[in-house]
Amino acid sequence: MFTNGGNVLFKDNLDFGSGGIIFDEGHEYNINGQGFTFKGAGIDIGKESIVNWNALYSSDDVLHKIGPGTLNVQKKQGANIKIGEGNVILNEEGTFNNIYLASGNGKVILNK
């Protein structure tokens, strides 16, 4: 679990298998990947937290986003996303191949 906000830099491809990334409540995080990819069970973002995602999600998997916080996606992913709750902001045209809303609590915001 990431706490208290801050910057995270991927220096290699990450495959968490059935594990995911959890972000606590009320903070801002900047995730950068410099061309490296993340693959795992998904991302859980706490209430009133913002995750600025400037990394790549593995193109052979579906990114699952849960939690009431906001995922702010900065670049085209080449993957699919499934949203359970909270906000997902898309800043690139065609950010995800397909977008699935898994419940009535998720919201997609198009910035491009």
Note the pLDDT tens digit of each residue in 13-38: 999 999 999 999 999 999 999 889 99
- Computed from CA positions of residues 28, 24, 86, 15, in that sequence, does the dihedral angle turn out positive or negative? positive
Query: pLDDT digits over 37-81, tens only?
Result: 999 999 999 999 999 999 999 999 999 999 999 999 999 999 999
Distance CA(95)–CA(76), nearest Å, equals 4
